[in-house]
Every structure is written in structure tokens, then in C-alpha cells.
Structure 1
Amino acid sequence: MAALWWLALGGVLLLLLLWRRARPSGSETSLAAAVVVLGDLGRSPRMQYHALSLARRGFRVAFLGYAGTKPHSDILHNENIQIVYIPEHTSWQVGPRVLQYIAKVIIQTVQLFYTMLKIENPGYVLLQNPPGLPSIAVTWAFCFLCGSKLIIDWHNYGYTIMSLTHGERHLLVRIAKWYEEHFGRLSHYNICVTNAMKEDLEVNCNIIAITLYDKPASFFKETPLSDQHRLFMRLGKDYVPFKARYAAEPIAPGDGDKRSAFTQWEARSGQVTHLKDRPALLVSSTSWTEDEDFSILLKALEDYEHYVGDGMKLPPLVCVITGKGPLKEHYCKLIAALHFKHIQICTPWLEAEDYPLLLGSADLGVCLHKSSSGLDLPMKVVDMFGCCLPVCAVQFRCLPELVKHDVNGLIFRDSSELAGQLKMLFWDFPTAEGKLNLFRRNLRTDKQLRWDESWERTVFPLFSHS
């Protein structure tokens, strides 16, 4: 029986090799590229940026992944980018979990390979990892058949994410680790997100990579107050905290009504100024997965709530946590059980165009991403820094490559330390003195590269000189 399977597989490969010979090659494919994500395209910002950068350089880009969240409008309206959706596997609860997982991998293999056969023969395939099982092997086989060059962008290790659920010694985790290292070495080029990961890939996997730090796109910037007002009025139609905490109508100067309004509109000149007693806006974003423990933030907010009600110079808070993911329902139940008087929490899903506006309007960002490998960096912090938004981030191994403690933000270890940081940063808010505004000024004066500049220097040579 095994011999028949191998014979059938050999016959399929032979047919594919013959088919490949009939496809366009050479100069016709040199400016064609595929950007592949075995996940939701709209929730893969770094790969969206890759696709846009390639398209702006004249490449015809096939952007492959699952439907779900709408990608950024720049992707949707770019004539050089063709979005190609992969049919998404629908899981079923039949048989042992191991067999279910094996069946899922087999189905994903067939769906991904079939989808790639439909696109223009690319000169390059740029693949996001993780998830790498089965996408690394599938894209390598495709590149072998089509004469394409495979470039893997290592965001993390898939096997370390699996270990959060199954443990490091689980058979599936060990198989996934071997698979990732073995097939990863078959790529032509490799990109990674930190110098720590670059070193680990070389030492432990014998894979040479270049580091491309996540950088904010040009649309991540501070939001003008007039645009903030329009954003909050629009969000307030669906989310109570925005409606309750931000004024629906302009407030004239000197108005005795001290509602918890976010902005005050100057009736004569149209200028906008801050109200002294306005609430502070705290923002976090998440995929609601095991590598982010939001109980840390909730406990810190409980501590903060106690001191706001104790006569201290601390503002009320509006806490906005954006994102979708498997643990959202769990944390929403915990949030619903809280009975705050001075803190309001909402968990909206924002359109791609609204998310930068929200970050550019906030007073402080909080990041609870704790890397499964300790080797990647949270892109959400990169986006916050692009908006000159100071950050409090939970500590892990290579975080100092991004967050400079006491310079552009603070690093904490637990909920009590985060609570202390919130109280210190928001003391006598929103006066210009204090570390919160010092961090913002430091971010404004930091001439960090944007994505386009960094990509041009680091990644484009892989496509232009190979």
C-alpha cells in the first residue's frame, strides 16, 4: 500500500514538472511576486507592508491568505496587488485531537498548493512564518517546481507557540521544531524581526537571516484634535465609553458644565484645547491569545481605581482594548464582572483606517505581548511609537531592542508594577510636566526610519540583486 502511495506521489510530481515547463519563465516572471500568509490577511500588517513595498517597486504581487478582516485600503486600491484568498479549513470535532490536527494539515496543504498553482508564475515567494506548518514545505515545493526563490520572513517560531498549549516535550511540538528548522534551511533568503532571532537562527538552525525591524507605516502619526473629535463621535455610536466620556457637541470656553468631555471647541476661532479634568485614554491591542495575559492589566486597573476614588490627583480612565481572537470572550466575562466607577473599558474591533487614528489620539499604550520564543518584538508597540505614543510593556528577553526603559516608555514585570507606573504617569494629568510628556517629546525627536525607508535599504536588495 505504501508503495502505491509513493508511486502516485511520483506521478503527480512528474505531471507538475511537465506543467511547469509550459508556464512563462525568465524575464516574464522577474517582476512577479507572491506574498503568502496562512492566516487572515487583514490581521497581517507586516505582510501587507511587504506587498505594498513590492507593488510600489513595480512588482505584480499576488497576496495570498485567508479572508476575514478587511486589509488596509492602500492594499485594496493598488492596481499591482491581486488578493487571492485561500479556502479556509473548517475544523470538525471527530476522533482524537492528534488525528484532527493531521487532517487539518493535509487539507491546508492541498488548499494552499492548489491556490498557488492558479497565480502568475512568480519570481519570488515571500512567506510569513509562523504559521509554517504546512506552508514552508508547500511553498518550497511550489518554488522548486516553478523556479521561484523562496524568502521566509521569521516573525517567531511556530513550535514555541504550540508549546504554550501542549508543553515543550509534546510529540507534536518536537515534530514541529524539527520541521521548522529542516525546511527553513531550504529557503533562498531569510528575514527576521530582531537581532536576537537572527543570532538564534544562525546558531541553532544554521539559517542566515537579515534583520528587518518592524517600522510604522506613514499613516501611523499623531492625530489632530479635530480628527480625534470626529473619530470619537463616530465610535460613540456603537461603544458606550466613547459616548459617555467624550462630548458629542462643542463646549464653549468657560462653560461651567464639567462633563467628562475630551475636547473643548473654541466657538470663535475653531481651535481645540484640552480640558483639565478630561479622562485619560489608555489603549492596548491584542490577538487575544495565550501569549498575552490581560489579567495583569485588569488587576492593575483595580488598583488604580482605588486611588482615583481616594482624593488623589489622578484622572478617570477610558481603556480601549482592540482586536479579535480566541480568548476575547473569556476576558470580556472578566471585564463584565468588574464594577469600576472611574474606569470604563471597551473592546471594539476597528477598521484598518481607524486604528492609527485611535493610537494617535491616546495618552498611553499598554503592551502585554510576551513572546513565546523571547525573540520577536510586538508590532503594536512599533505602531504606537509611530504615533509618538508612550508605552508600558511587559518584560521579556529582547524587548529592550525596542522599548528603552525611562526613555520612550516603561517596562514592568507584574500587575503591581504596572499599577505603580499608571499612577506615576497619570499624576496631575494632563499637565505638561512629568514623564508621560517627557516620553512623548523623546519620541517626537527620535528620527526613526519609517517602513518604506527601512525596507528599501534592507529587503529590496534581495529582489534586485539575486
Structure 2
Amino acid sequence: MDSMWAVTLFVITTFGSGVAVVVLLLILGPTQYNPYRPGLIQEQSQQDGGTFTALKNEGKDSYGRFSQGRNTTKKLNSETTVQVVVLGDIGRSPRMQYHAKSLVEQGVRVQLVGYQESDLLPELVQHPLLQVVPLSPPPRFLRDGPLPFVVKGPLKALHQAWDLYQALAYRTPATKFMLVQNPPAVPVLAVAQMVCFQRNTRLVVDWHNYGWSILALKLGKSHPLVFISRIYESVFSRGADAHLTVTDAMARDVATRVSVRPRALHDRPAAAFRPISPAERSEALAYLEPSSQYAADLLKGSWKLLVSSTSWTADEDFSVLLHALVEYSAGKKSVSKLPNLLVIITGKGPQKEHYLREIAKLNQDRKLEHVVIQTAWLSMKDYAQLLASADLGVCLHQSSSGLDLPMKIVDMFGAGLPVLAWSKYESFGELVKEGQNGRGFESAEALQQLLVELLAQDGSQLRALKEGAVQESHRRWNDEWDAVAGVLFGVHSEKALK
């Protein structure tokens, strides 16, 4: 260490402080990824219950890849390593978890970086190839304090940038790839670019939406911070080695804005989301706490179950659903054949308390006499069972960019659940096929009319939508991922190239 400072002092006196800073960064900077020295995992005996045994239990994909890479020192080669980065709650980022799951199933070592606030997918918990790298949440005064957003936002971004840089550059080994979720773009894209440059890592940006368009919901499209965010997102995404998007529409738009060639990787449901039999539905309705009290009526058909999942944010206007339910309840008085409704809303988020107060006021004013609204936060397993047991799913996602698609609809289709969804954006038709697996609406009145149309008649329209949703459930994540991301990371199956 003394010699290092001596070299630094010599450089400062000879060439100036600017060059000295560069030398210091080179000396103290993070280690680089070396493609000629792939990661190794020590093979342990079956009696130890160690990594090798665990890989065997994962199935032929993981075990097969590592069997091919075994060397004479009884170590297992992992030629591809990936950092999967989420500047948010990992447990509430299903797409990035699905990426991680697909990667480890192909024998790839994965570092999953983000906030640990909710449970991970069961398949990822204690997986021998997965390392969770938790980030530290910003101080409470930057999350819930009284500071205005224009002050709190930049301070929060600085805290996140430093913590994220430390995690990606120093708390983890260098990887071959870094897969970054966007948004949030600030400060992730800048930090990711810096770390990838320093560590010889290839950067892949997975576009879920635009960060600037989400910020515009809070500040307005003409706000200076929105303009700066838009420029920032364009500049710091251009240096990435590859780009993925959630829709074809977003791929076209990103290609125009950022001058890159992204590939669309459509969201598909995980294995947990699947249609269930009538016997399984009866059991689930009685077992799940939000529905257990109404299970008998739901099975008889005198009540119908609607499910809406949400993050309770500004891009989902729940007043639309509440207004439609008030009108439905009023119409039930004159149309006796309309069933009562149990509406279960799942999720967490900043606007939840606001809408809970609105619901309480509507109940107090007796405007929801034929509708019961409950909120819940469920495990992945129970949430999948709830979707498969419901009669209709309702999605209120209003795309800030008009180019993304909500994962909640994907999950609903995976469970064979037909959907009523807000449809006023360009990419809507890439997932929901009008009249086949769901219906679209653009107002509370239209949603109320659809509820009456589907629930007041003989049920033929609802059954047709159900059949379409079940058909849609056959399209799965692994097939889509293998042909797009699997090819990108070089771990695809042979059929992906056919």
C-alpha cells in the first residue's frame, strides 16, 4: 500500500492531479471479467448435499451443462455469468425473476441485484447458482419525508447510485453479462454503463417502459426534469451491447429514439399460473382467505369473482373500477338476474390507503350493496390459485408510453382467466384479442356495460372468452425466452434456432 501511494505521489508531481486520478481509478478500480477464466464451482459429494447434488435435483438442463464442463480437478465450469439488476423490489419484479430462473435452469451463474422486500419465486430460493445481492433502501426521510420531489428525487438518486455502484463493482465478482431493467433509468443506466466499462462486461437493457414517461405522470410532460430524463435515457442506453423490449411496438419506438436494434421478448406466464379443474377451484375458493366466506355462493353461481391486481400507482386509475361497480350495484336493483360480485384487489403501493378510504365512504353511503370489495397481499402460489378460481380479471393499467403491456394480464391468461382491460394504448392488441380472450374499455361506463353484458346473459360470451384465455395459457415463458434471450446469452436449446 505504501508503494501505491508513492507511485501516486510521483504521478501527481510529474504529470498533474488529473492523470493521478485516472491512475488511482485503475489501481483501486473493480476487477474485470476474464473470458479465459470461467467461474468454477467445487464439486461436492452426494453425502454432503452440496452444489453438485443440488444441480442434479434441478433437472437435466442445469446438470447436463455442468456435466459437460467438469474438469479433472472436480470443479464445474460456468462459462456464462449474468448480473440481473432491478432497482426495485425483486419479489415484485416477476419478469426479471423469470430471466434469472431461465438462466439458472441453463446452468448459468446469476447475481440477482435489487431490494429484498418480498418473497422470491420458490424455484429461486436457495438455488445453488443464484446469489441475491441486496441493496440498501434510501433513508426514510428520502422516501416518506416532507421534502418536495424536486429536492428529494435527486438526493434519492445519489444515494441509489452510490449503493448500486458498490454492489455491482465491488461486492460481486465480474460477470460476462449485465441485464438491467429499465425503468427506472435514473441512476441505473449511467451506473451500469460505468461498471460494464470498468469490468469488461456486456450490457443488456430490458425495456419495460420509459422512465421519462412515468415521471411525466407525476410532474407533467412539460416539466424540465422530464425533458432531462428523456435525454438522459436516450444517451445512456445507446452504449448497451443489446436491447430487449416487452412489445413489438416498443421495439420499433426504441429503435427510432435510441438508434439501436432491440428484440421483442413478450412476457409469458410462469409455470405457477395454469388453469385448474372444478375440483381444484372448489378447494381453492374454500382455502383462500379473501374468498372462503363466499365460496358456496361462488360455486353456485349466485356470486361472481372479479380479481384486479395492482401496484396502486398513478398509471392505474382505480376510480374507473369503483365508478363502474357503483353503477353495477345500482343496476342490480332493476335487473335481478345480475349476480352479486366479490371483487378482490391484490397488491401494495402508495395510493392504496387513498382508495381504501374511498371504498369505505362508498360502503358507508350504501352505494355498493351488491358488491363486496376486499384487498389482499398473497404469496405467488395463492395468487396463482386466486386467478385460476376467478370468473373475470380486471386490469386498469394505463400505459404511460402507450408501448408496454402489464404483466398482470399475462398472469391472468396463464391461469386461463379472461380479462377486461383498459385498452387506450398502441400495444394493447399484442396481448388481448378483442372478443377472443378479453374485452377492452376506455371509460367507467364502458366497463360497467361489459360487466352487465357478460354476467347478465346466459354466460355464453363469458364461456367463449374463457376458452380463448385457456388457449392463450399454452404460450409459455421458457419457449419465448429461449428463442430470444437464450440466443443472446448463448445458452439456448437447438430448437431455438429452427
Using structure 2 for the length normalisation, give the TM-score.
0.82
* Distance across 2 between alignment mates of 1:371 and 1:389: 21
One-letter identity of the residue aligned with 1:401:
E
Aligned to 1:132: 185
Is 1:32 the equivalent of 2:42? Answer: no
Aligned to 1:341: 369
Aligned to 2:295: 246
* Distance across 2 between alignment mates of 1:121 and 1:333: 48
Q: CA deviation at 1:465?
A: 8.2
Aligned to 2:31: 20
One-letter identity of the residue aligned with 2:395:
C
* Distance across 1 between alignment mates of 2:17 and 2:369: 66
* Distance across 1 between alignment mates of 2:301 and 2:410: 29
Is 1:70 the equivalent of 2:119? Answer: yes
Q: CA deviation at 1:331?
A: 0.6
Aligned to 2:218: 165
* Distance across 2 between alignment mates of 1:227 and 1:27: 50
* Distance across 2 between alignment mates of 1:443 and 1:123: 39
Q: CA deviation at 1:443?
A: 2.7
Q: CA deviation at 1:309?
A: 2.3
Aligned to 1:250: none
Q: CA deviation at 1:107?
A: 1.1
Contact between 1:129 and 1:157, CA under 8 Å: does it hold in 2?
Answer: yes
Q: CA deviation at 1:207?
A: 2.1
One-letter identity of the residue aligned with 2:313:
T
One-letter identity of the residue aligned with 1:20:
T
Contact between 2:288 and 2:386, CA under 8 Å: does it hold in 1?
Answer: no
Aligned to 2:397: 369
Contact between 1:184 and 1:207, CA under 8 Å: does it hold in 2?
Answer: no
Q: CA deviation at 1:372?
A: 0.5
2:316 corresponds, among 285, 288, 292, to 292
Distance 1:422 1:12, change over 3 A: farther
Which structure 2 residues correspond to residues 297-446 of structure 1 after superposition, within 5 A?
A: 297-339=321-363, 340-395=368-423, 396-428=425-457, 433-446=459-472
One-letter identity of the residue aligned with 1:71:
L
Q: CA deviation at 1:435?
A: 0.8
Distance 1:225 1:12, change over 3 A: farther
Distance 1:385 1:128, change over 3 A: same
* Distance across 1 between alignment mates of 2:373 and 2:21: 54
Three-state SS of the structure 1 residue aligned to 2:25 is helix
* Distance across 2 between alignment mates of 1:447 and 1:43: 21
Q: CA deviation at 1:27?
A: 4.1
Is 1:87 the equivalent of 2:136? Answer: yes
Three-state SS of the structure 1 residue aligned to 2:132 is strand
Distance 1:212 1:341, change over 3 A: same
2:165 corresponds, among 110, 113, 116, to 113
Aligned to 1:205: 258
Contact between 1:25 and 1:121, CA under 8 Å: does it hold in 2?
Answer: no
Q: CA deviation at 1:352?
A: 1.4
Aligned to 1:103: 155
1:153 corresponds, among 188, 206, 220, to 206
* Distance across 2 between alignment mates of 1:465 and 1:376: 27
Using structure 1 for the length normalisation, give the TM-score.
0.87
Q: CA deviation at 1:16?
A: 4.1
Distance 1:156 1:9, change over 3 A: farther
1:63-100 Cα offsets, whole Å, 9 max, x none, are 11001111111111422111111111124247664333
* Distance across 2 between alignment mates of 1:374 and 1:447: 24
Q: CA deviation at 1:276?
A: 4.0
Contact between 1:365 and 1:391, CA under 8 Å: does it hold in 2?
Answer: yes
* Distance across 1 between alignment mates of 2:208 and 2:21: 32
One-letter identity of the residue aligned with 2:221:
E
Deviates more, 1:444-453 or 1:68-77: 444-453
Which structure 2 residues correspond to residues 220-239 of structure 1 after superposition, within 5 A?
A: 220-236=273-289, 239=290
Q: CA deviation at 1:427?
A: 1.3
Q: CA deviation at 1:380?
A: 0.6
1:153-203 Cα offsets, whole Å, 9 max, x none, are 000000100000111121211111111100100100000011111111111
* Distance across 1 between alignment mates of 2:409 and 2:94: 13
Percent identical pairs in the alignment equals 38
Q: CA deviation at 1:217?
A: 1.2
* Distance across 2 between alignment mates of 1:99 and 1:184: 25
Q: CA deviation at 1:227?
A: 3.5
| Structure 2 residue runs without a partner (length 5+) | 1-15, 40-78, 493-498
One-letter identity of the residue aligned with 2:97:
Q
Contact between 2:337 and 2:456, CA under 8 Å: does it hold in 1?
Answer: yes
Contact between 1:105 and 1:134, CA under 8 Å: does it hold in 2?
Answer: yes
Three-state SS of the structure 1 residue aligned to 2:389 is coil
Deviates more, 1:34-43 or 1:89-98: 89-98
Q: CA deviation at 1:9?
A: 6.0
* Distance across 2 between alignment mates of 1:169 and 1:448: 43
Q: CA deviation at 1:219?
A: 1.7
| Structure 1 residue runs without a partner (length 5+) | 248-259, 264-274
Distance 1:96 1:296, change over 3 A: closer
Contact between 1:34 and 1:122, CA under 8 Å: does it hold in 2?
Answer: yes
Deviates more, 1:405-414 or 1:302-311: 302-311
Distance 1:301 1:96, change over 3 A: closer
Aligned to 2:65: none
* Distance across 2 between alignment mates of 1:54 and 1:388: 26
* Distance across 1 between alignment mates of 2:393 and 2:339: 16
Contact between 1:16 and 1:145, CA under 8 Å: does it hold in 2?
Answer: no
Contact between 1:129 and 1:155, CA under 8 Å: does it hold in 2?
Answer: yes
* Distance across 1 between alignment mates of 2:305 and 2:318: 17
Is 1:457 the equivalent of 2:483? Answer: yes
One-letter identity of the residue aligned with 1:407:
Q
* Distance across 2 between alignment mates of 1:8 and 1:331: 56
One-letter identity of the residue aligned with 1:62:
Q
* Distance across 2 between alignment mates of 1:356 and 1:289: 22
Contact between 2:414 and 2:470, CA under 8 Å: does it hold in 1?
Answer: no
| Count of residue pairs brought into register by the alignment | 429
